[in-house]
């Protein structure tokens, strides 16, 4: 279950143009700020659904997209990358586990509790899941926006070279895309 757009939060001033792409640190700071300042509003909006995770787009510009996601116990993503986009996420409720890998490196594992925020570069592939018995929610941001993810059978299958990003698209073109994080 998903929703196209969450009820508006006043985050547009946080995502104004910095051009042309946001760095992992800027994305981390963005999701950390949103998760901290708007935590109560986010938790009032988040929905928990099964069997598919719930998500809602909070903002979309030509440079960045921001999502709110929920995670019931056991819900997870497939191993994937973000198609060459940089990204970040902040945990606003619960704990999320992450297995990750950059090309040519070993697979790593981390646990991210409420308040944790991290940014990652274009080459990072990961799998995220809620391994606890409690509900979890997180805010995610990517730059450039709406770059298709690539799924893998295993994190060991990620390529040694990250393919180039697709051509940049206008906001009008981006808004026509299907709504999925």
Show me where the domains of the chain are located.
20-159+169-175
**Res 173: pLDDT:** 78
pLDDT tens-digit profile of 94-142?
999 999 999 989 999 999 999 999 999 988 999 999 999 999 999 999 9
Tally the residues of the chain.
181
Give per-residue pLDDT as tens, 111-124. 999 999 999 998 89
In DSSP terms, 95 is beta-bridged to 113
CA proximity to 101, closest of 77, 121, 76: 121
Integer Cα distance of 11 and 38 in angstroms: 9
Separation of alpha carbons 63 and 45, rounded Å: 24
* pLDDT score at 49: 92
The contacts of residue 120 (CB under 8 Å, 6+ apart) are: 24, 86, 87, 88, 100, 126
**What pLDDT, on a 0 to 100 scale, did the predictor assign at position 130?**
98
* Nearest Cα residue to 98 out of 130, 73, 120: 130
Cα distance between residue 101 and residue 127, in whole Å: 9
Q: Which CATH superfamily is domain 20-159+169-175 in?
A: Jelly Rolls (2.60.120.10)
Tens-binned pLDDT, residue by residue, of the chain (181 aa): 444 445 567 788 898 877 789 999 999 999 999 999 999 999 999 999 999 899 999 999 989 999 999 999 999 999 999 988 999 999 999 999 999 999 989 999 999 999 999 999 988 999 999 999 999 999 999 999 988 888 999 999 988 877 777 777 777 877 777 666 6
């Amino acid at each position: 279950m998903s929703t196209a757009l969450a009820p508006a939060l006043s985050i547009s001033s946080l995502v104004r143009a910095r051009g042309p792409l946001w760095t992992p640190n800027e994305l981390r700071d963005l999701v950390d700020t949103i998760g901290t300042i708007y935590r109560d509003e986010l938790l009032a909006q988040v929905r928990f659904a099964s069997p598919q995770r719930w998500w809602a787009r909070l903002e979309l510009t030509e440079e960045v997209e921001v999502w709110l996601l929920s995670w019931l116990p056991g819900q997870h993503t497939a191993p994937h990358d973000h198609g060459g986009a940089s990204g970040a996420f902040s945990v606003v409720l619960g704990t999320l586990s992450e297995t990750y890998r950059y090309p040519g490196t070993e697979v790593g594992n981390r646990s991210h509790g409420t308040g944790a925020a991290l940014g990652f570069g274009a080459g990072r592939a990961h799998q995220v899941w809620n391994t606890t018995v409690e509900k979890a929610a997180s805010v995610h941001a990517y730059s450039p926006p709406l770059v298709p993810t690539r799924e893998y059978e295993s994190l060991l299958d990620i390529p040694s070279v990250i393919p180039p990003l697709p051509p940049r698209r206008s906001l009008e073109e981006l808004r026509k895309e299907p709504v999925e994080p």
